[in-house]
């Protein structure tokens, strides 16, 4: 498939589940734009946009067809600006599907040329989310095996200093 796709997310922080989807998409498509977005539904980020980009650049070293960018606004409009017609989203569980299906239909309504492809994560990452990583680290637990080793220390340093609200969402 000679195509460019967008793999969007907040990546706050990047997990091995994210990396699984990105690396698999990089094998399926010629060019993968990993688009780091500010999600207004998430109250406060643990990492700035620039820090998330830096973590992703480090975590995706060796994947030559990856571009890490940030954007604001509607994903459907950003895809149009970049002349991209396919979005790749990762799914962990049925609950992810409900939300992502709604988003895919909304994006299609805004940009009729836009298609969404869902990749299910490997079973070993089905439970993994940025929220879980943040909660474990904030309580002093080990997040080794949850985030890429190359960025583990930076993530631990930041998250171990931050006490999270009780009902933090991914």
> What's the confidence (pLDDT) of residue 42?
61
Active site (annotated) includes residue 131:
no
Q: Estimate the share of the chain in helix, then strand, then coil, as percent rounded to the nearest 5.
A: 40, 20, 40
Alpha carbon distance 123, 35 (integer Å): 24
Catalytic-role residue among 10, 26, 130, 138: 130
Which pTM value belongs to this model? 0.89
pLDDT digits (tens, 9 = 90+) for 72-102: 999 999 999 999 999 999 999 887 899 999 9
Alpha carbon distance 170, 161 (integer Å): 19
> What's the confidence (pLDDT) of residue 100?
94
Q: Is the pLDDT of residue 144 over 90?
A: yes
Query: Which pair of structure tokens corresponds to residue 161?
Result: 């200093």
């Amino acid at each position: 498939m000679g195509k460019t796709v967008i793999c969007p997310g907040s990546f706050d922080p990047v997990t091995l589940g994210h990396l699984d989807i990105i690396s698999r998409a990089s094998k399926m498509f010629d060019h993968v734009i990993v688009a780091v977005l500010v999600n207004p539904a998430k109250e406060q980020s643990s990492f700035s946009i620039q820090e998330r980009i830096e973590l992703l650049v480090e975590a995706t070293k060796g994947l030559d067809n990856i571009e890490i960018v940030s954007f604001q606004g509607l994903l459907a409009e950003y895809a149009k600006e970049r002349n991209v017609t396919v979005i790749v989203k990762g799914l962990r569980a049925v609950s992810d599907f409900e939300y992502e299906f709604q988003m895919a239909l909304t994006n299609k309504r805004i940009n009729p040329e836009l298609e969404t492809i869902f990749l299910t994560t490997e079973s070993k990452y089905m439970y993994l989310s940025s929220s879980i990583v943040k909660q474990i680290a904030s309580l002093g637990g080990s997040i080794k095996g949850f985030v890429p080793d190359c960025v583990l220390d930076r993530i631990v340093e930041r998250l171990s200093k931050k006490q999270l609200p009780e009902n933090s969402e991914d």
